[in-house]
């Protein structure tokens, strides 16, 4: 950006800020009220998008936190100094969000939406019960000398804070981590991102802002009762405004708030009797007209890819087994998918796991990577027991994997996909940078391309690069060579060999026997959940038991 | 950053909205040709039910009546009323914004109040700051005396919740001393501020008169089945069943009581008993049921008002706050005419201080509160007559025990 | 006996909840439309029954014969003109659901606005079959029992239709995976529209029947939508028997809490139950895990 243009933008920005700050001095009561509406919806919508934007969890619980904040102000407002009241509201919001945010662990999609709505109603009912039975009075009176001007300035300050926090969040590693979680939560966990903790943290942050907004608005209404504080319409309005403006970026929601608030005003003022009908028609029209649907509005915001974390320690070569799998079984209510599998892997070798479809190979890999918990048996990585650890913890310990159905994070760029695995790297020392890894797998020229636009083979390469970015000691490849044409196969095999030469230990699940023969020093054959043969590839592939397992007994 | 479609859409929407807001700039009505009166009323949302029965029809009727007579007399001219109305959507925030709009954009001369305690409290500070007289009719709260002191422009016309309960307790106490009912009361109340205030005051007042509360429970708003509650109340064998309820539950309780053949000597349900819809639904079975409100149905002025209301709006007024709403507007008109000019502060003061002739008789407020408010009414022969306070002229004797359900 | 006196009225109340939720089971479970205007359709049907009863003296049970086909046609039109476009253009299930939520949110306003213009905001109520019936010492209202009966009959009929007929199986196939259903020659668009319309017919049944005993006004739609949603989600999306069980369970719990604990906690208890079920079984009592 050139100098003069920059200066011009800065001046414009400052002028705008000055206008906003001095607004109460020149706007009449009505326009000030309008300004207040715009501001409080902006805060709510931006806070909402902070959580719901990247994670795609559409929350209707906005009014639960807003109402709690309003109620806190109503309860404490006349006895405590105002800053204490705001802090208390923030605390109540954060605490409630912490307790209820744990639901995000188990629910997704429409269930989360309805759950969040039910939550708001539950909180409202509990507040009513408390007020009726313990406090013996349902409504709270809050008389305060706060004028519209002061209210406006408080909201303006809060707006500035929410934008500041949102901006800082976006630039931090949590911003990219959030987007990774939203794009593909499984891939994100396996890249070392603690999805649960991050989701919970941002949910709490978002709820805190909502609660403080409620507290600030409470004096305006003088009388707060549960119906007034917990009005479900607010939750819906916030969702619509944020989605229309663009929940994927920081300044998106405000662009949805302003037109909609003004639209509501115009409709209220000009068509009081037909407000509902006209509003409904406009909504329907807007949704029908958007070509990609509302989800297309989520969009990909541009976040700066944070500088790479400290590089990793070199893999320690040695003779002690890197991975020790001992009697691992996994059952799914009666079906034994994996039955008493044991093997060890020494550092630097490539182990092949083969077997007919349905023999439990992927399930075994899932127990190793933490996607599933073994029903029995132990798994040790470098002596540390992995049983019970979550996927992101195992990933951080140095066990990376690719997936049978390729999992790239579609709305992130190639570079961001790799960077996501670097965010929470716990290893120190020297290692390849993201660019080097991308060059290694052959994606050097495509760093800024969105991952969803890559070809199949390139997506596989990206997945591999992301796995390598964890600086792992052990990589699990789940049918990584499947679906490749002969020349791609050759390149792929060469790449895996190169990785082994760099000191990586690999476990490959494969059906491509040429690759097994070319790369593996040792093979394990599984059938119906248990190991039926093990040894060098040549020996194993001519074992009559193995042949029978693949081709069926009678045809062998 | 944004797709072209959304950018265009937002631009169009923003421009349209901006244009719209500027277009709703006030028409500079010549203040000497008309009197502009504005109000925001709940046409949608949870309060629309109550507002549509009690408040809106009376606002419309009053404007019609005033304009039919030529208008409000200012000096030696009669100025017709021009109405600006908005829908506050049963939301405190919308109500406050609407008041600002009425005052600053539409520049109305007077503002009529919204429906319900919550909304009246929400707009109270704003009306006070702007100096408009605030006729808080449909606002029943124990804080009314305190609010009237705080806001010198505000007046309250339905008394306090405590007065309602005390009026009921006094009446029941009188019946008990006459030997018509025993000392056992079952009381249920809705878990809303109104229900809480009424039941809290009720508890005190009933105890004072020597009654025993055999069943005393609250239920949340939106409860769709009140039978369990009712069954437990019946089990306590009450002489009087008191329900401080809202219209949907008032109806539901009455219906359930009929089903369960529950015939206590006194059957009292809350808000909604005084509505014409109650008589419409229960017909002859409504006779004997007591409720909040009541009016002196024999008064010729009220009879004439009933006929006028029905002719103009197509429905009957309620027997509690409707006539008081209309009366308050008559007070407003007379106060404006007495002051002689559009001086809002003077009008507000006159409303507080003056004496007025209205359809409910002579009105003189004390410290901003209307004193002659009926607390208890009873359906008798198809009309909801006022029973208490028994000291007010026109109070009828109670019919006890309530006739059995048919 | 108290237990009977809790269970029987609880089932009757639950029958009402289940009846209200049946239509949404089809509309959301099969046609994949998260129809936020569902409650408004219910209230509109109630208004229809009220008008017919007051104006023509037509019994609500007879009014069903008129209301159901009208509702089906209107809902089918809604699907064909608006919703089908959204379903076609949605990239995946999540996108379709969000779009359908927002569009039906708009439709909600339109229907509510129309009712407000036609009937105003006040409460309406009429009585039909408000006759007491004593079963096992428990007094129940005939009109509520009729609602329970219809819930069971209609629910059972829908369940049988879905599981025993070819069309029903095709409809269930669409609910599981619309793309795969297309591949085996099922006309997804037509059948989804049919399912949606059918759901609309069921809503009309619910609305007409509950108008016999509930007081309603034009603004009450949201309450019913949320109740229906809770029942449908709790029972497992798309599962008719699940919806029935969930509705009955909610009714019994609410009645039990009212009698045994505190009438003030009934609604809190039902929401707590709902949230509890979701936390333990995230896809509902009888639901299948999402793929």
Neighbours of A486 (CB within 10 A): 7
Average pLDDT value for residue range A423-451:
76
Query: Would an 8 Å CB–CB cutoff place B2 in contact with chain A?
Result: yes
For residues A513-531, one letter each, b for 16 or more C-beta atoms within 10 angstroms of the residue's C-beta and e for the rest, the string is eebbebbbebbbbbbebbb
State the CATH number of the domain containing residue B242. 3.40.50.2300
Q: Specify the pLDDT at position A181.
A: 85
Percent of chain A, pLDDT > 70? 91
* pLDDT at position A548 over 50: yes
Mean pLDDT (whole number) for B33-49: 88
Q: Which domains does chain A have, with CATH numbers?
A: 16-296 (1.10.3470), 323-555 (3.40.50.300)
The answer to whether residues B143 and B234 belong to one domain is no
For tokens 């992995």, name the residue: A386
Segment C2-6 shows an average pLDDT of: 82
CA distances A356 to A325, A332, A396, A521, Å, are 21, 19, 31, 20
Both tokens of A191, joined, read: 């890249």
Q: Closest approach of chain A CAs to the CA of C30, in angstroms?
A: 14
* Chain B residue at shortest CA distance from A246: B2
Residues B269 and B384 in one domain: yes
Classify residue B179 as left (phi > 0), alpha (psi -120 to 50) or beta. left
Contacts of B300 (CB under 8 A, 6+ apart): none
Residue B244 falls inside a structural domain: yes
Q: How far is C82 from chain A (nearest CA, A)?
A: 8
Peptide bond into B401 cis (omega under 30): yes
Whether residue B384 sits in one domain with residue B242? yes
C-beta atoms of A110 and C110 within 8 A: no
Q: Which single residue is written with the structure tokens 């004496």? A: B355
What's the pTM value of the predicted model, to 2 decimals?
0.83
Q: Which of B44, B224, B269 to mutate against chain C (most C CBs within 10 Å)?
A: B224
Is 70 exceeded by the pLDDT of residue B5? no
Residues C178 and C188: beta-carbon distance below 8 Å: yes
Q: In this structure, is the dihedral angle defined by the CA atoms of residues C86, C87, C92 and C95, taken in order, positive or negative? A: positive
pLDDT (tens digit, 9 = 90+) per residue, C108-160?
A: 889 988 998 888 777 888 878 878 888 887 788 888 888 888 888 888 888 88
Q: Do B167 and B278 reside in the same domain of the chain? A: yes
Cβ-contact B317, B306 below 8 angstroms: yes
Asked if A354 and A404 touch (Cβ cutoff 8 Å), the reply is no
Whether A428 shows a pLDDT value over 50: the answer reads no
CATH classification number, C7-280, choose in 1.10.8, 3.10.450, 3.40.50, 1.10.3470: 1.10.3470
Residue C162 has pLDDT above 60, yes or no: yes
- The confidence score (pLDDT) of residue A291 equals 57
Shortest alpha-carbon distance between residue C169 and chain B (Å): 36
Give the closest residue to A371 by CA, choosing from A392, A391, A341, A397.
A391
B30 domain-assigned: no
Residue B281, domain member (yes or no): yes
CA distance A233 to chain B (A): 10
pLDDT band at A148 (very low <50, low <70, confident <90, very high): confident
User: Mean pLDDT over residues A79-105, rounded?
Assistant: 89
> For chain A, what is the radius of gyration of the CA atoms?
28
Residues B227 and B290 in one domain: yes
Task: Report the pLDDT value the prediction gives residue B21, as an integer from 0 to 100.
Answer: 55
Strand order in the sheet with B290-292: B212-219, B184-190, B240-244, B266-268, B290-292, B376-380, B383-388
Look up the domain containing B318 and give its range. 35-160+299-364
Residues 6+ apart with CB under 8 A from B193: A137, A138, A139, A225, B117, B141
Going by pLDDT thresholds of 50, 70 and 90, the confidence category of residue C192 is: confident
Q: How far apart are CA C99 and CA A178, in angstroms?
A: 23
Q: What is the share, in percent, of chain A residues with pLDDT greater than 90?
A: 20
pLDDT at position A216 is 95
A382 touches chain B (CB under 8 A): no
Q: To which residue do tokens 């001086």 refer?
A: B343
In whole angstroms, give the CA distance from residue B274 to residue A45: 43
Per-residue pLDDT band for B11 (boundaries 50, 70, 90) equals: low
Reported as a pLDDT band with limits 50, 70 and 90, residue A159 is very high
- At A216-240, the pLDDT tens digits run 999 988 888 888 888 877 888 898 8
Percent of chain B scoring above 70 in pLDDT: 92
Same-domain check for residues B220 and B78: no
Query: Bridge-partner residues for B292, per DSSP?
Result: B376
Give the pLDDT of residue A303.
43
Q: Which two tokens stand for residue A447?
A: 């760093």
Q: Are residues B100 and B147 in the same domain?
A: yes
The pLDDT score that the predictor gives to residue A304 is 43
Among C36, C96, C103, C237, pick the best mutation site for testing chain A contact (most A Cβ within 10 A): C103
Phi, psi of A407 (to 5 degrees): -120, 90
> What pLDDT score does A222 carry?
86
Q: Is residue B345 part of a domain?
A: yes
* Residue A314: band (very low, low, confident or very high) from pLDDT cuts 50, 70, 90: very low
Q: What is the pLDDT confidence band of residue A292, given thresholds at 50, 70 and 90?
A: low
If you average pLDDT over every residue of chain B, what do you get?
Answer: 89
Residue B121, C-beta contacts closer than 8 angstroms, at least 6 positions apart: A141, A221, A222, A223, B139, B141, B147
CB contacts < 8 A (A, C) = 140
pLDDT value of residue C148: 85
Element (H, E) at A492: helix A486-501
Q: Which region among A18-22, B26-30, C25-29 has the lowest average model confidence (pLDDT)?
A: B26-30
Q: Is residue B371 a part of any domain in this protein?
A: no
Return the H-helix or E-strand segment holding A47.
helix A29-55
Residues in chain B: 406
Residue C288 touches chain A, beta carbons under 8 Å: no
Task: Round the CA-based radius of gyration of chain C to a whole number and report it.
Answer: 19
Instruction: Tell me what the mean pLDDT of segment B156-173 comes to.
Output: 92
Closest to A33 in 3D by CA, of B93, B114, B128: B93
Provide φ and ψ at A79, rounded to 5°: -110, -25
| pLDDT surpassing 90 at residue B102 | yes
The pLDDT assigned to A302 comes to 44
pLDDT of residue B383: 92
Q: Is residue B108 part of a domain?
A: yes
> Is B220's Cβ below 8 Å from some Cβ in A?
yes
Distances (CA, A) of A487 to A345, A457, A498, A509, C234: 30, 12, 17, 20, 52
Is B46 in CB contact (< 8 Å) with chain C?
yes
Question: Is B265 domain-assigned?
Answer: yes
Check if B281 contacts C (Cβ < 8 Å): yes
Shortest Cα–Cα distance, A195 to chain B (Å): 26
> When comparing pLDDT for C26 and A87, which is higher?
A87
End-to-end Cα distance, chain B: 71
Total domains, chain B: 2
B28 assigned to some structural domain: no
Looking at CA atoms only, how far is residue B171 from chain A in angstroms? 25
Give the range among A245-254, A320-329, B328-337, C280-289 with minimum mean pLDDT. C280-289
Which range of A245-259, A421-435, B94-108 scores highest in mean pLDDT? It is: B94-108
Q: E strands along B1-156, which residues?
A: 35-41, 72-74, 77-79, 81-87, 110-112, 134-136, 154-156
State pLDDT tens for residues B46-92.
788 889 899 999 999 999 999 999 999 988 889 999 999 998 988 88
Interchain pair B3, A258: CB under 8 A: no
Contacts for B323 with CB less than 8 Å, ≥ 6 apart: B295, B302, B305, B317, B359, B360
**Residue A195 DSSP SS3:** helix
Average pLDDT over residues C74-81: 90
Put simply, the answer to whether A118 touches C230 (Cβ < 8 Å) is yes
- Give the C-alpha separation, A201 to A265, whole Å: 35
What average pLDDT does the segment A497-507 reach?
Answer: 89
Residues sharing a CB contact under 8 Å with residue A96, sequence separation 6 or more, in sequence order: A64, A65, A68, A123, A207, A211
The complex's ipTM?
A: 0.81
Inter-residue contact B372 to B391 (CB < 8 Å): no
- All chains having 3 or more CB pairs closer than 8 angstroms to chain A: B, C
Say if B371 is an interface residue toward chain A (CB within 8 Å): no
Distance from CA of B261 to the nearest CA of C (A): 8
Nearest CA in chain C to B87: C121
Q: Is any Cβ of chain C less than 8 angstroms from the Cβ of B129?
A: no
Instruction: Say whether residue A126 is in contact with chain B using an 8 A CB cutoff.
Output: no
The helix or strand, by DSSP H or E, that contains position C33, with its residue range, turns out to be: none
Q: Helices marked H in C120-218 — which ranges?
A: 142-164, 166-176, 178-183, 188-210
Same domain for B195 and B55? no
Q: Kindly state whether residues B197 and B340 are assigned to the same domain.
A: no
Which of A118, A288, A296 is opposite residue C85, by nearest beta carbon? A288
B384 and B235 in a single domain? The answer is yes
Give yes or no for residue C87 having a pLDDT over 60: yes
Residue, of B94 and C100, whose pLDDT is higher? B94
Q: pLDDT per residue over B230-239, tens digit each?
A: 988 999 999 9
Give A343's DSSP letter.
E
> CA dist A214 to B108, C27, C188, C196, Å?
31, 36, 46, 39
Question: Of chain B residues 99-118, which have a CB less than 8 A from chain A?
Answer: 100-101, 103-105, 117-118
Whether the predicted pLDDT of C257 surpasses 80 = yes
Any bridge partners for residue A353, and if so which? A509, A524
pLDDT per residue as tens digits for the range C27-63: 887 777 888 899 999 999 999 999 988 888 888 888 8
Tokens 């790479």 correspond to what residue? A308
Q: What is the pLDDT of residues B353-393, one digit of tens each?
A: 999 999 999 999 999 999 889 999 999 999 999 998 988 88
Give C-chain residues touching A286 at CB under 8 angstroms.
106
pLDDT number for residue C91: 67
Parallel, antiparallel, or unpaired for β A505-509 and A522-527?
unpaired
Are A378 and A327 in contact by the 8 Å Cβ rule? The answer is: yes
Helix (H) or strand (E) holding B209: none
pLDDT at A315: 44
Structure tokens at A161: 């804070």
In this predicted structure, what is the pLDDT of residue A77?
A: 86
Say yes or no: B266 and B189 in one domain: yes
Tell me what pLDDT residue A305 has: 47
Start-to-end CA distance of chain C, whole Å, equals 46
Let me know whether B144 and B185 are in one domain. no
pLDDT, average across residues A280-300: 66
């Amino acid at each position: 950006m050139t100098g003069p243009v920059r200066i011009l933008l800065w001046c414009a920005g400052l002028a705008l800020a000055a206008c906003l700050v001095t607004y109460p001095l020149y706007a009449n009561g009505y326009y000030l009220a309008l300004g207040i509406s715009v501001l409080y919806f902006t805060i709510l919508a931006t806070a909402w998008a902070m959580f719901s934007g990247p994670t795609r969890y559409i929350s209707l619980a906005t009014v639960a936190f807003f109402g709690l904040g309003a109620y806190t102000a109503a309860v404490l407002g006349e006895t405590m100094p105002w800053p204490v009241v705001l802090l208390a509201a923030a605390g109540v919001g954060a605490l409630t969000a912490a307790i209820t945010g744990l639901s995000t662990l188990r629910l997704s999609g429409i269930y989360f939406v309805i759950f969040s709505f039910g939550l708001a109603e539950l909180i409202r009912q509990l507040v009513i019960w408390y007020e009726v039975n313990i406090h013996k009075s349902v409504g709270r009176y809050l008389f305060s000398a706060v004028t519209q001007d002061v209210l406006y300035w408080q909201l303006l300050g809060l707006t500035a804070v929410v934008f500041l926090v949102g901006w800082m969040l976006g630039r931090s590693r949590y911003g990219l981590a959030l987007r990774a979680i939203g794009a593909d939560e499984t891939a994100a966990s396996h890249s070392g991102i603690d999805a649960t903790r991050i989701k919970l943290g941002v949910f709490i942050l978002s709820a805190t802002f909502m609660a403080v907004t409620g507290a600030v608005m409470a004096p305006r209404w003088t009388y707060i009762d549960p119906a007034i504080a917990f009005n479900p319409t607010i939750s819906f309005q916030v969702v619509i405004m944020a989605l229309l403006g663009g929940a994927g970026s920081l300044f998106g929601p405000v662009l949805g708030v302003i037109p909609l608030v003004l639209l509501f005003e115009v409709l209220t003022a000009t068509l009081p009797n037909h407000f509902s009908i006209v509003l409904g028609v406009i909504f329907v029209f807007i949704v029908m007209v958007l070509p990609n649907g509302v989800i297309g509005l989520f969009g990909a915001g541009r976040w700066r890819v944070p500088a790479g974390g400290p590089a990793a320690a070199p893999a320690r070569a040695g003779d002690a087994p890197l991975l020790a799998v001992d009697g691992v079984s996994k059952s799914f209510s009666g079906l034994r998918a994996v039955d008493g599998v044991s093997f060890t892997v020494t550092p630097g070798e490539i182990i092949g796991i083969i077997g007919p479809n349905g023999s439990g190979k992927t399930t075994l890999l899932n127990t190793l990577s933490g996607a599933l918990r073994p029903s029995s048996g132990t798994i040790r990585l470098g002596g540390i027991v992995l049983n019970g650890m979550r996927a992101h913890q195992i990933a951080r310990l140095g066990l990376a994997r690719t997936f049978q159905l390729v999992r790239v994070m579609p709305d992130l760029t190639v570079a961001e996909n790799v960077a996501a695995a670097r965010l929470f790297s716990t290893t120190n020392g020297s290692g390849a940078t993201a660019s080097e890894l991308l060059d290694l797998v052959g994606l050097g020229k495509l760093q800024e391309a969105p991952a969803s636009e890559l070809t199949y083979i390139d997506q596989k390469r990206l997945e591999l690069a992301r796995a390598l970015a964890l600086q792992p000691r052990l990589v699990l490849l789940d049918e990584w060579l499947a679906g490749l044409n002969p020349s791609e196969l050759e390149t792929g095999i060469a790449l895996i060999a190169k990785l082994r030469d760099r000191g990586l230990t690999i476990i490959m699940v494969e059906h491509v026997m040429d690759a097994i023969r070319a790369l593996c020093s040792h093979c394990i054959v599984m059938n119906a959940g248990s190991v039926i043969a093990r040894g060098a590839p040549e020996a194993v592939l001519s074992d009559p038991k193995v042949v029978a397992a693949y081709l069926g007994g009678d045809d062998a | 950053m944004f797709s072209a479609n959304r950018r265009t859409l937002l631009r169009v929407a923003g421009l349209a909205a901006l244009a719209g807001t500027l277009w709703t700039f006030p028409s500079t009505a010549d203040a000497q040709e008309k009197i502009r009166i504005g109000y925001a009323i709940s046409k949608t949302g949870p309060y629309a039910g109550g507002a549509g029965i009690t408040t809106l029809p009376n606002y419309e009727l009053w404007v019609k009546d005033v304009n039919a007579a030529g208008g409000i007399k200012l000096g030696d001219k009669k100025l017709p009323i021009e109405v600006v109305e908005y829908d506050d959507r049963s939301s405190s925030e919308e109500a406050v914004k609407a008041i600002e709009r009425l005052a600053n954009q539409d520049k109305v001369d007077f503002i009529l109040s919204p429906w319900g305690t919550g909304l009246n409290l929400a707009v109270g500070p704003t009306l006070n700051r702007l100096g408009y007289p605030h006729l808080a009719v449909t606002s029943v709260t124990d804080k009314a005396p305190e609010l009237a002191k705080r806001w010198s422009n505000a007046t309250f016309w339905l008394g306090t919740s405590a007065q309602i309960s005390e009026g009921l307790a006094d009446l029941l106490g009188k019946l008990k001393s006459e030997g018509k009912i025993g000392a056992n009361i079952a009381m249920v109340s809705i878990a809303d501020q109104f229900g809480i205030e009424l039941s809290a005051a009720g508890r005190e007042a009933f105890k004072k008169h020597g009654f025993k509360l055999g069943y005393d429970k609250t239920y949340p708003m939106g409860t769709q089945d009140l039978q369990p509650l009712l069954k437990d109340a019946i089990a306590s064998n009450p002489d009087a069943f008191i329900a401080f309820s809202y219209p949907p539950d008032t109806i539901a309780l009455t219906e359930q009581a009929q089903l369960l053949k529950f015939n206590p000597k006194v059957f009292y349900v809350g808000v909604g008993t005084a509505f014409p819809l109650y008589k419409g639904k229960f017909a002859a079975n409504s006779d004997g049921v007591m409720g909040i409100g009541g009016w002196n149905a024999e008064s010729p002025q009220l009879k004439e008002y009933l006929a006028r209301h029905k002719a103009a709006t197509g429905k009957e007024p309620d027997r509690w706050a409707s006539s008081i709403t209309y009366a308050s507007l008559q007070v407003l008109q007379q106060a404006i005419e007495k002051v002689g000019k559009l001086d809002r502060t003077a009008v507000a003061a006159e409303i507080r201080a003056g004496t007025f002739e209205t359809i409910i008789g002579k009105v003189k407020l004390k410290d901003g509160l209307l004193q002659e408010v009926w607390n208890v009414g009873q359906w008798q022969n198809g009309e909801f007559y006022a029973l208490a306070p028994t000291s007010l002229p026109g109070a009828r004797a109670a019919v006890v025990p309530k006739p059995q359900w048919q | 006996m108290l237990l009977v006196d809790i269970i029987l009225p609880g089932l009757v109340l639950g029958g009402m909840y289940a009846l209200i939720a049946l239509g949404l089971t089809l509309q959301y479970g099969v046609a994949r439309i998260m129809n936020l205007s569902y409650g408004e359709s219910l209230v509109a049907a109630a208004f229809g029954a009220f008008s017919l009863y007051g104006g023509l003296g037509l019994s609500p049970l007879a009014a069903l014969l008129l209301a159901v086909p009208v509702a089906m046609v209107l809902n089918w039109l809604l699907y064909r003109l608006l919703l089908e476009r959204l379903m076609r253009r949605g990239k995946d299930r999540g996108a379709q659901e969000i779009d359908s939520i927002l569009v039906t949110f708009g439709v909600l306003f339109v229907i509510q606005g129309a009712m407000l213009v036609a009937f105003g905001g006040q409460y309406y109520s009429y009585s039909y079959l408000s006759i007491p019936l004593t079963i096992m010492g428990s007094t129940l209202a005939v009109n509520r029992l009729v609602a329970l009966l219809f819930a069971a009959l209609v629910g059972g009929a829908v369940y049988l239709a879905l599981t025993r007929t070819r069309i029903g199986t095709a409809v269930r196939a669409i609910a599981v995976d619309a793309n795969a259903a297309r591949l085996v020659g099922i006309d997804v668009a037509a059948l989804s529209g049919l399912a949606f319309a059918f759901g609309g017919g069921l809503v009309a049944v619910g609305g007409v029947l509950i108008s016999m005993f509930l007081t309603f006004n034009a603004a009450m739609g949201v309450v019913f939508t949320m109740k229906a949603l809770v029942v449908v989600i709790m029972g497992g999306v798309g599962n008719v028997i699940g919806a029935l069980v969930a509705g009955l369970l909610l009714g019994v719990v609410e009645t039990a809490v009212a009698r045994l604990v505190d009438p003030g906690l009934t609604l809190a208890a039902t929401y707590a139950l709902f949230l509890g079920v979701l936390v333990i079984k995230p896809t509902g009592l009888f639901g299948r895990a999402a793929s």
